[in-house]
Structure 1
Amino acid sequence: MTTARTLTVPAPAPESAVEYFGAELGFEVDPDDLVRDLEAGRTDGYLVVETRAPEAFAQARIPGAINLPYRDMTAESTKDLDRDLVYVCYCESSQCNAATKGAFKLAQLGFKVKRLSGGITAWTAAGYPVEGAPTTGIRCAC
């Protein structure tokens, strides 16, 4: 009998899965959880950060997000950010790594961070609202 490809590498013990998936959930938030919080006005404790270039932010952004391009993140450019907040970084999609780079830079600067799974592409694909004036498809622009 041959082993199913899905099980070629055995599943980890439940304890290991709890540790791994718990860590993953600590690093990411999905669009559905974020939109539900925003719609309910539950925004205490975090701030949504668009990490792409200003022109991408002008085109389409998650309501209430601030623009802080990862390329511009320095101790000086972040000095007025509240260190008690969690910064939820997003970019174009999972094929763009501006959110990862932004979260990495913010973490290096001592901020607590999460990343939005799938970026604004997943957000708009789910039909969630955007601010701005999207005239063409959303692009990386990081």
Structure 2
Amino acid sequence: MTETFKIKGRISQVLSTPAADPEVARQHFAAKLTVETDPSDVHYDLQHELDSFILLDVRSSKHFEECHIKGAIGFPQSKISPESTAHFPKDKLIVTYCWGVACNGATKAAMKLAALGFQVKEMIGGIEYWRREGFEIEGTLGDAAPLVG
């Protein structure tokens, strides 16, 4: 039976599902961080020349040419296969990104790469949030490129 939580005479939507035990929550969030990173952390590593990962822009080749993160490799997620990724080292993390929170291309790419035996993380927020944070981009359109696809 679900317990009802009322505050000021109204049912709380936040408390209608009880919070997890702190240890369960810690494990959940620790697991989440093993498969995600964010633009700020990627930027920090790139700025400090920490080359512990390969950064893949998994949007279309056209969109990559127009605007991408400096140092990223354009690699559309639809092209990922055992043959096309054979040159990537299996001992180096691959970080995928696409447009932003409304795009699941980076998620699809990460899933495909993991199935091929690569260690992967998805950069949440994609290039949209990279640009919103004011980080450097390059490409034929640069800052004039669309913010979302």
Q: Normalized against structure 1, the TM-score is what?
A: 0.93
User: Higher relative contact order at CA 8 Å, sep ≥6: structure 1 or structure 2?
Assistant: 1
| Residue identity matched to 2:14 | T
| Structure 2 residues without counterparts, runs of 5 or longer | none
Aligned to 2:73: 66
Moved over 6 A (4+): none
| Residue identity matched to 1:129 | E
Aligned to 2:47: 39
Indicate whether 1:87 and 2:94 are aligned.
yes
Verify the 8 A CA contact 1:60 1:138 in the aligned structure 2: no
Shift of 1:7: 1.2
User: In 2, distance between residues paired with 1:31 and 1:99?
Assistant: 13
| 1:39-58 equivalence runs, <5 A | 39-43=47-51, 45-58=52-65
Larger Rg: 2
| Structure 1 residues without counterparts, runs of 5 or longer | none
Q: Which moved more, 1:1-10 or 1:106-115?
A: 1-10
User: In 2, distance between residues paired with 1:102 and 1:138?
Assistant: 20
Shift of 1:6: 1.4
Verify the 8 A CA contact 1:56 1:139 in the aligned structure 2: no
* Percentage of pairs with the same residue: 36
| 1:22-37 equivalence runs, <5 A | 22-37=30-45
